[in-house]
Structure 1
C-alpha cells in the first residue's frame, strides 16, 4: 500500500498533513512506526 502526504507549503498546511497521517493509521494504511517517521518529517517544517 502506498501513502502520500498532501502537499504543504506553509505551517498552516501542517494540520492537514498530520490529520492525513492519523487517518492513514486508523484505516490500516500506515503502521505506528511509519506514522512516527512521517510525523518527524512534518515536524522539521514547524
Structure 2
C-alpha cells in the first residue's frame, strides 16, 4: 500500500512539473497552466 501511495504522489509531481514546463513553452501568462484531456470518445 505504501508503494502505491508513493507511486501516485510521484506521478502527480512529475505531471505538474511537465505541465508547468509546457505552459512556459506554449506562451501562457504567469499563473496559467496547460491541462490536456486525453480520452477516447466513440463517435
Tell me the TM-score normalized by structure 1.
0.40
**More RCO (CA 8 Å, sep 6+):** 1
> Which protein shows a greater Rg?
2
- Bigger helix fraction: 1
